[in-house]
Amino acid sequence: MEAYNYAALDDSMDYLYAFFEQDLARCVAENRELIPEGLEYLLAEDSLEDYVWIWLKARGPNSFYQYVMDGGYPEVESRQAYDYRVKEWAIDNPPHVTWFREDGSALPDLPTP
């Protein structure tokens, strides 16, 4: 399954960086709106791992889902590849965390609630 292999490429980092710059703050704020005041700590949205998982689960032009769908493979194969990779990385950390650290990039500064 070629889409499955495509989904594991580090080319997806361009989407991750764009997501961090353009979408992450909004996604975190939207998630925080759903939590009762005083329980925000339950979200644990303050680490690289948390931010990568928000990206993996998000939809939108800079999401991992969109990266996989933009790969040029049939839609059914792309959706299946997305599902398989996300499930796989739920057991074993996504490689994007390591790649981000190797790049020496800094985490985005997000406003605190």
What are 72-98's pLDDT values in tens digits?
999 999 999 999 999 999 999 999 999
Contact between 55 and 63 under an 8 Å Cβ cutoff? The reply is yes
pTM assigned to the model: 0.89
Q: What is the mean pLDDT of residues 55-60?
A: 96
pLDDT at 112 over 70: no
pLDDT at 20 over 60: yes
HSE-up (13 A, CA, CB side) for residue 28? 26
Q: What proportion of the chain, given as a percentage, has pLDDT over 70? A: 91
Q: Give me the residue spans of the domains in the chain.
A: 2-103
